[in-house]
């Protein structure tokens, strides 16, 4: 099969997993959960009504309407067609991790209007943010202060009336304040075009300091790592390498690679690759993964070197990383490991690594790679049925995600 035929039959790669942005749960859990994708700006943009509310107890003896999980009394309307003191029954589903209205708790609610004067909270429980009591001295809760700014500056049709004011507020939220805002505010800074590029020196310094001090287990660190690539500070590659090799570096490995791509500096790749010389097997696997996510041509040499590591997890990570480079130039090194060398090294014997090599060869889109895969898929007696089935799946859909 030709490389052109393979390319035409392949689907596009799946989108990156959704990232944590904005939650109403406990602060530490909210910042570390990775499956959510709501951010402060997306909540404001997606809601018909943004309001400060308080949970209401049901009226005594009143039957609960089907689907209604609670009632919210509006204390203050920040945006939208609603009135103070109005009580809104809000709907949800009991079988989901959905909204739970707690009577007496003051919150910010992001509400969507349903047909028939019905309401639901945007994004299930993510659209109901419990507010703490006001800080000493009468200052407003940081969460509410941020939302006031976003509501004032977000234009109905998209865009921001005062991008500098929004950026400053998001930087403050990403670097301190309510932990539930940090990851979401950081992601907003990354994905609003032009916002981060105009950051002041003070804002840049705050974001870089937050990157240095945040623990890898918190999702905000992922987005701050991406910012290092956008901000391109002096010593940025060293900052990224140090963070990657710190405890729980696996959580930010893709972000480090993408940041290296944004830096676009071959010396940054060389600096990270140099750490592999004396690193543990776990660290070398992390380095290989980050180099693969960079997609940079300069990463091929270091990854081919790691393909010969003694430890199967390192070889597997290096193979997948070479596949992510999507270059035919990586095919010879992958084939050498996959098939072995006449009179030299034997073919890869670890089943997991062989799968990684097969997937990576499909990403190279090289004729010799297709021939090797087609031969492996047909090699009854030499390859296990499980492996041949895996290779057939790769041949049918080369761009499917690799699952170990």
DSSP string, 285-297: HHHHHHHHHH--G
pLDDT at position 23 over 70: no
In the chain, pLDDT over 90 holds for what percent of residues? Answer: 63
Q: Distance between CA 295 and CA 303 in Å, rounded?
A: 11
Q: Distance between CA 107 and CA 70 in Å, rounded?
A: 13
Q: Collapsing DSSP states into helix, strand and coil, what is residue 121? A: strand
Average pLDDT, the chain: 85
> Which of the four pLDDT bands, split at 50, 70 and 90, describes residue 346?
confident
pLDDT at position 167 over 90: yes
Contact (CB, 8 A) for 307 and 333 = yes
Contact (CB, 8 A) for 78 and 96 = no
Beta bridge partners of 352: none
| Dihedral sign, Cα of residue 67, residue 72, residue 74, residue 76 | negative
pLDDT, residue 104, reads 85
What average pLDDT score do residues 219-242 get? 95
Structure tokens at 402: 């690799």
Instruction: Count Cβ atoms below 10 Å from residue 60 Cβ, excluding itself.
Output: 5
Tell me the pairing of strands 87-91 and 118-121: parallel
Q: Tens of pLDDT along 386-400?
A: 999 999 999 999 998
Of 354, 353, 307, nearest in space to 330 by CA? 307
In the chain, pLDDT over 70 holds for what percent of residues? Answer: 84
> Which of the four pLDDT bands, split at 50, 70 and 90, describes residue 91?
confident
pLDDT, residue 3, reads 40
Give the pTM.
Answer: 0.83
Q: Distance between CA 171 and CA 399 in Å, rounded?
A: 37
What average pLDDT score do residues 271-298 get? 94
> Which of the four pLDDT bands, split at 50, 70 and 90, describes residue 196?
very high
What average pLDDT score do residues 186-204 get? 95
When mean pLDDT is compared across 66-75, 91-100, 163-172, 198-207, the lowest value belongs to: 91-100
Q: Distance between CA 45 and CA 50 in Å, rounded?
A: 10
Start-to-end C-alpha separation, the chain: 26
User: With left for phi above 0 and alpha for psi between -120 and 50, is residue 80 left, alpha or beta?
Assistant: left
Quick one: angle between helices 236-244 and 281-294, nearest 10? 130
Q: How many residues does the chain have?
A: 404
What average pLDDT score do residues 333-346 get? 87
Structure tokens at 94: 């009991």
pLDDT, residue 166, reads 97
Contact (CB, 8 A) for 60 and 245 = no
Structure tokens at 1: 């099969």
Q: Compute CA 198 distance to the chain's CA centroid, rounded to the nearest angstrom.
A: 23
Vertex 294: Cα angle to 291 and 299 (nearest 5): 50
DSSP state of 131: P
**Between residues 196 and 140, the one the model is more confident about:** 196
Q: Distance between CA 95 and CA 98 in Å, rounded?
A: 8
């Amino acid at each position: 099969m030709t490389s052109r035929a393979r390319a035409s039959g392949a689907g596009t790669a799946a989108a990156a997993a959704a990232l944590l942005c904005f939650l109403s749960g406990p602060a530490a859990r909210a910042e570390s959960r990775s499956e959510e994708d709501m951010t402060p700006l997306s909540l404001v943009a997606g809601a018909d009504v943004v309001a400060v509310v308080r949970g209401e107890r049901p009226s005594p003896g009143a039957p609960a309407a089907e689907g209604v999980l609670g009632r919210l009394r509006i204390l203050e309307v920040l945006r939208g067609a609603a009135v103070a003191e109005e009580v809104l029954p809000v709907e949800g589903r009991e079988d989901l991790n959905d909204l739970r209205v707690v009577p007496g708790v003051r919150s910010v609610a992001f509400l969507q209007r349903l047909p028939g004067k019905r309401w639901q909270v945007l994004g299930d429980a993510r659209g109901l943010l419990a507010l703490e009591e006001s800080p000493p001295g009468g200052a407003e809760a940081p969460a509410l202060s941020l939302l006031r700014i976003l509501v004032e500056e977000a234009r109905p049709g998209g865009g921001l009336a005062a991008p500098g004011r929004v950026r400053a507020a998001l930087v403050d939220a990403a670097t301190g304040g309510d932990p539930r805002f940090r990851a979401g505010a950081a992601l907003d800074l990354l994905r609003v075009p032009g916002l981060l590029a105009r950051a002041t020196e003070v804002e840049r310094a705050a974001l870089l300091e937050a990157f240095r001090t945040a623990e890898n287990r918190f999702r905000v660190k992922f987005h701050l790592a991406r910012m290092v690539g956008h901000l391109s500070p002096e010593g940025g590659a060293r900052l990224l390498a140090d963070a990657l090799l710190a405890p729980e570096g696996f959580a930010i490995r893709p972000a480090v690679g993408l940041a290296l791509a944004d830096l676009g500096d071959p010396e940054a790749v060389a600096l990270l690759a140099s750490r592999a010389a004396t690193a543990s097997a776990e660290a070398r696997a992390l380095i290989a993964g980050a180099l693969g996510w960079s997609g940079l041509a300069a990463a091929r040499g270091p990854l081919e070197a790691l393909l010969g590591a003694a430890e199967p997890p390192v070889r597997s990570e290096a193979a997948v990383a070479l596949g992510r480079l999507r270059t035919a130039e990586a095919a010879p090194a992958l084939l050498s490991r996959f098939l072995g060398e006449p009179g030299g090294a034997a073919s890869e014997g670890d089943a997991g690594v062989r799968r990684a090599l097969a997937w990576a060869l499909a990403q190279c889109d090289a004729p010799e790679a297709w021939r090797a895969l087609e031969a492996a898929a047909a090699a009854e007696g030499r390859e296990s049925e499980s492996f041949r089935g895996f290779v057939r799946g790769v041949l049918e859909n080369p761009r499917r995600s690799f699952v170990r």
